[in-house]
Structure formats: C-alpha cells, structure tokens
Amino acid sequence: MRGLIRKVLWSALWTGLLAVHAEASEVRELSLSEAIEAAQRDTKSWAEYDAREAAAKAQVDAVEANWWPKITVDAAVLYWSDVSKIDVVDKEQLTSDLQKALTETSDPATQAMLQAFMPTIQGVGGVLMNALPESIMLKDDLNATFGAQVMMPLTPLFKVYQGTKLAQIGVENVEVERAGKSLEISDEVTEVYLKLVYAQLMQEVAQEAFETLQKHVEMAEKYETVGMISHSDVLSAKVEELKAQQSVVEARNGTRLASMKLAQVLSLGRGVELRASDMPRDTFVVTLDTLESYQDRAVAQRTEFRRLELGRQAAERKKTMAYLDYVPQLFLIGRYQYMYGIDALKPRSQAVVGLGMMWTLFDGLGHRAEARQASAEAQAYSAKAEEARDLIELDVAQKYLALSTAIERVKLTQQALELAEENLRTVTAQFANGESVNTDVLAAQARHAAARADNVKARIDILSAWAGLKLSMGESPTLERDAFL
C-alpha cells in the first residue's frame, strides 16, 4: 500500500512538472488534412527530387537537340616562310633552242621559206612566249581559309527518337518516385496523427474513470459514517482511485509523447505542443467493394509496379537502339569554302551539296551484345513485375481483411460498451440503495473502462485499416472528413 501511494505521489509530482512545461509551450491544434499539408510543404523532402527531375529534363533536351542539323564553321590564317610555285618554262632557253634549230636546217628550200616567214614566226612566237608563264604560284606566303558546313542526319533520327523516349522515361521515373514519396509522407503523418488521437481519447477514458472512482470514494466514505459499509471497503475504493489516477498520469504522458512524435514528423520546434482536432465518429461507415477490384486498382496504381514497368520499357528502348547501330547511317551534307592565297585553286569560293553514308559491317558483335544485355534486363523486369503483382495482391488482401475485421469488431465493442454502461448504472444504483457491495461497483467500473478503451481502439483501428487499404492501392491515405467529428 505504501509503495503504491509513493508511486502515485511521484506521478502527481511529474504531472505538475508537465503542467508547468505545458504552460511554457505553444499549444497548437491541427486537423489531419492540415498536418499532411504541413508535411508536404517541407522543402527538404523535395529538394532531391527537384534536382533529379531537372537533370532528367535536361537529358531529354540534350537528346532532342540531335533532331536538328549540325552547323559548323572553321577558319585558318597561315603565314609561310616562303611562297610555293612550280617552274613552267625557261623562255631564254626555249628561244635559243628555236633559233639554233632554224639555223641548223640544211635544206635550202626550207631555209628560204623560213627566211620568208621569219618575221611572222618571230611575231607569233613572241606573243606565245609572252603568254607562257615562267612559273605557276601554288600559294602565297600568307593565305587564309574560311568554311561553313551543314550536316543533317537521316537514318540516325530513328535512334534519336528511341533516345528521346528513353530520356522521357527517366523523367517519368522521377515523377513516380516523387508520388511514392508523397504517399509515404501522407502515410507516416496519418499513422502518427491517429496515434495522437488514440492517446487523447485514452486520456479522456482514464480521466473519466478517475472521476467516477472519486465520486464512488466520496459515496463510500459517507456510507462508512452511517455504518453501511466497512472501512476496508473504503480503503479498497481509495486504492482503485489511486490506480486510476496513475492511469491518468500515464495517459497524459502518452499523449505528450505522441504529440512530440507528430511535431518531429512535421519538423516543428520543441516548444510546440500539438493537439489533434479530428476525433473519430462513433459510427464511421465504410462501404467495401470486392477484394478483386481493390487488387486491380493496386496493380494499376502502385508506384513500385509502375517503376518496374518503366524499367522494362527502358530496357526495350536500349535493345532497339543497339540494333539501330547496324543500320546504314545516311546523312545530307552541304559545305561552303572561301580560300585566299592559294592560287592553284580557282575559284576562291566553292560550295558542295551531297549525300553521305557510313555503315558498320562488323564491330566484334559489340552492339549485339548490348542488345542481348538489354533484352535480359527487360526479362528480369518482367519477372520482377510478376512477383510484385503477387506481393501487391497479397498486401491488398491483408489490408482488406484487416479493415473487414475492424468493421465487425467495432460493432461488437459498441454493444459491449452499451452493456457495460447499463451494468455500471445498475450496480451503482443498487449500491446507493444498499443492494450491492463495494466490490461489485469497482468491478463494474473496471469493466466499463475496459469496454470504452476497446471501443476507442476499434474506432481507431477502422481509420488505420482504411488508410492502410488506400495506401496499398497506391492512393493517398488521407481520410475523408466524414470520418471525423
């Protein structure tokens, strides 16, 4: 008895300290939707996903840039230590050889004819000699070139198309992961919030049981003074009162702990004490559809299943891209070039348009190996998807049965609570009339408190099970407003 009283006194002291701390803290009430919105606004949760999404979108832009033709320019200015030329003819040597040939002709008739036409031959020969260059200049000591080229791929555009789709899968994958993170945050907040709701309700149950026992102790003390009950009955009632007070302290501390956990999830400071403003209804009706319909929705919406499907699609794209490397690579090419200081090439401005091809006939079967690797990855993703489908369907079935059990259980706990309330009223009235003993009242009060606790837990279990079923289907576990008062 002394140990129990000492324990209760320490609990009361701790309760006082908590009360002083509570006065110094900021008390804030939140609904479940407000708590989820506050958690979703936490920028720290999304900074990584924002960066990854930006990188994935930049990759899409980089791949899509290959749809456009490639335009390049080049220029060069060179100074050479000497000019480059080719000697064409030595005019003096040619004139000397021609005169020698004419003078050495022994035929008189030929000499006479040459003498007659000599002025004409000399005139024409002079013109021809003047027309012949002694050398041809190949390049000056200073020359410059400028060029511009346009290349448009043709068959490589098929690979660009596949690469674009592959890059877009990367963006979708980040979006799916972001959606999964959002569901994870909502689920965590919902779970912690419902624990706070449960703690607050259990504190109310403990407080009500304590106040009921206080009234009973007062009544027992009055009956003792008139000799209706013994002093031991009063002491038994006081012991139960102290136990109830201890339960109040424990429930209050449990509420504070749940509040601190919710504040931590919402990234709030230590000086904030949260209170749940949403309390579950006594009768929250959940209309269940067939288990198969929930399983089909889960397969279509679960983020992990969607990620596996995206992985399989990405592997198929890689396989197609590997085989496209064996297709002849056709491209259009156009080039303009201007040259200064290179006299051998005329004209200085030139342009060309043509069609080019490059075909890889043998590469050691490297691309074929890449295609086989991608095909194996696609098969692995398909196998994982089948396994994930089975696990998802089992998870939905577990959540479905848990909700069905909670729905049936809350009906039974409600009936048990009604019976316990009726029994407590009856026994209390009988005790007041001297028709029952003290232990009957204490037992009835204990049964009533237990029935209330069971009913509270059953009502919370319905909300938790319903949120879990929604999450198992890949939907937000946020509860409807009609689930709360």
Whole-number Å distance between alpha carbons of 436 and 219: 13
H/E element, 1? none
Task: Round the average pLDDT of the chain to a whole number and report it.
Answer: 84
Average pLDDT over residues 211-238: 86
Task: Quick: pLDDT tens for 22-41.
Answer: 444 678 899 999 999 989 88
Q: Is the pLDDT of residue 173 over 90?
A: yes
Q: Is the pLDDT of residue 107 over 70?
A: no
Q: Is the pLDDT of residue 120 over 70?
A: no
Percent of the chain at pLDDT > 70 equals 82
Question: What is the signed CA dihedral for 112, 117, 122, 125, rounded to 10 degrees?
Answer: -110
Q: What is the pLDDT of residue 21?
A: 46
- CA 251-253-259 angle, to 5 degrees, is 105
The amino acid occupying position 252 is R
Statement: 2-66+162-325+369-483 belongs to CATH 1.20.1600.10: yes
Q: What is the pLDDT of residue 19?
A: 47
Task: Quick: pLDDT tens for 360-398.
Answer: 888 888 889 999 999 999 999 999 999 999 999 999 999
Whole-number Å distance between alpha carbons of 129 and 90: 10
Q: What is the pLDDT of residue 304?
A: 87
Average pLDDT over residues 321-344: 88
Does 220 or 98 have the greater pLDDT score? 220
Q: Is the pLDDT of residue 83 over 80?
A: no
Task: Quick: pLDDT tens for 426-466.
Answer: 988 888 887 778 888 888 999 999 999 999 999 999 999 99
Average pLDDT over residues 331-335: 93
Q: Is the pLDDT of residue 311 over 80?
A: yes
CA distances from 344 to 88, 129, 264 (A): 13, 21, 82
Indicate whether this model's pTM tops 0.85.
no
Whole-number Å distance between alpha carbons of 381 and 308: 6
Looking at 2.20.200, 1.10.3430, 2.60.40, 1.10.3470, the CATH number of the domain 69-87+137-153+327-362 comes to 2.20.200
